[in-house]
Amino acid sequence: MINLREVNETNEMIQRENLDVRTITMGISLIDCMDSDVERTCERVYEKITDKAKNLVKVGEDIEAEYGIPIVNKRISVTPIGLIGASSCRSTGDFVKLAKTLDKAAKTTGVNFMGGYTALVSKGMTEKERLLIESIPEALCSTERIMSSVVAGSTRTGIDMDAVRLMGEIILKTAEATKQNDSIGCTKLVVLCNAPDDNPFMAGAFHGVTEADAVINVGVSGPGVVKRALEKTRGSDFETLCETIKKTAFKITRVGELVAQEASRRLGVPFGIIDLSLAPTPAIGDSVADILREIGVEYPGAPGTTAALALLNDQVKKGGIMAASSVGGLSGAFIPVSEDQGMIDAAEAGALTIEKLEAMTCVCSVGLDMIAIPGDTPAETISGIIADELTLGMINQKTTAARLIPVIGKGVGDSAEFGGLLGHAPIMPVNGFSCKDLIHRTGRIPAPIHSFKN
Amino acid sequence: MDDNRQRAIITVVGHDTVGIIARVCTYLADSNINILDISQTIVGGYFNMMMITDLSGKKKHFAEISSELESLGEDIGVIIKIQREDIFDKMHRV
Contact A65 B62 (CB under 8 A): yes
Least CA distance to A257: which residue of chain B?
B90
Reading phi first (left if > 0) and then psi (alpha if -120 to 50, else beta), residue A268 is in: left
Q: Identify the contact set of chain B against chain A, taking CB-CB distances under 8 A.
A: 9, 11, 37, 39-41, 48, 50, 52, 62-63, 66, 81-92
Contact A2 B81 (CB under 8 A): no
How would DSSP label each residue in A250-309? Answer: HHHHHHHHHHHHHHHHHHT--EEEEE-EE---SSTT--HHHHHHHHT-SSBTBTTHHHHH
Task: Write out the residue limits of the CATH 3.20.70.20 domain(s) in chain A.
Answer: 28-54+67-193, 215-443
**Range A215-443 classified under CATH 3.20.70.20:** yes
**Weakest-pLDDT range from A280-284, A369-373, B19-23:** A280-284
Least CA distance to A14: which residue of chain B?
B87
State which H helix or E strand residue A146 sits in.
Answer: strand A146-154
Reported as a single tens digit per residue, the pLDDT across A133-147 is 999 999 999 999 999
Q: What is the ipTM of this complex?
A: 0.89
Least CA distance to B80: which residue of chain A?
A68
Contacts of A318 (CB under 8 A, 6+ apart): A246, A249
Of A11, A66, A251, the CB nearest to B11: A11
Chain B residue numbers with beta carbons less than 8 Å from the beta carbon of A11 are: 11, 81
- Using alpha carbons only, how large is chain B's radius of gyration in Å? 13
A321 vs B: CB within 8 A = no
CB count in 10 Å sphere of residue A304? 14
Residue A68 · residue B87 · CB < 8 Å: yes
Give the residue among A453, A25, A4, A411 at the shortest CA–CA distance from A208. A25
CB count in 10 Å sphere of residue B30? 10
Q: What is the mean pLDDT of residues A376-401?
A: 97
Reported as a single tens digit per residue, the pLDDT across A293-341 is 999 999 999 999 999 999 999 999 999 999 998 999 999 899 999 999 9
Contact B91 A254 (CB under 8 A): yes
The pTM for the full model equals 0.93
Question: What is the model's pLDDT at position B90?
Answer: 92
Phi then psi for residue A23, to 5 deg, are -160, 140
- The Cα–Cα gap between A159 and A165 comes to 11
Residue A51 confidence (pLDDT) above 70? yes
Domains and CATH numbers, chain B: 4-92 (3.30.70.260)
A13 to chain B, closest Cα gap in Å: 11
CATH number for the region A28-54+67-193 comes to: 3.20.70.20
Give the residue among B43, B40, B49 at the shortest CA–CA distance from B12. B49
Question: What is the model's pLDDT at position B4?
Answer: 57
Residue B37 · residue B52 · CB < 8 Å: yes
- The Cα–Cα gap between B58 and B63 comes to 12
A290 to chain B, closest Cα gap in Å: 24
Preceding amide of A283 cis, omega within 30: no
Give the residue among A254, A67, A14 at the shortest CA–CA distance from B9. A67
Strand A271-275 relative to strand B46-54, pairing? unpaired
Helices (H), A110-221: 127-141, 161-177
Percent of chain A at pLDDT > 90 equals 93
Residue A286 carries which side chain, given as an amino acid letter?
Answer: D
Give the residue among A403, A345, A392 at the shortest CA–CA distance from A194. A392
Reported as a single tens digit per residue, the pLDDT across A197-220 is 999 999 999 999 999 999 999 999
Contact B91 A7 (CB under 8 A): no
Residue B31 carries which side chain, given as an amino acid letter?
Answer: S
Chain B residue numbers with beta carbons less than 8 Å from the beta carbon of A3 are: 39
Partnered with residue B41 across adjacent β-strands are B48
Chain A residue numbers with beta carbons less than 8 Å from the beta carbon of B87 are: 10, 67-69, 255, 258
Q: What is the mean pLDDT of residues A348-364?
A: 96
| DSSP state at residue A179 | G
Q: What is the mean pLDDT of residues B2-18?
A: 84
Contacts of A250 (CB under 8 A, 6+ apart): A319, A320, A322, A323
Reading phi first (left if > 0) and then psi (alpha if -120 to 50, else beta), residue A296 is in: left
The three-state secondary structure class of A89 is coil
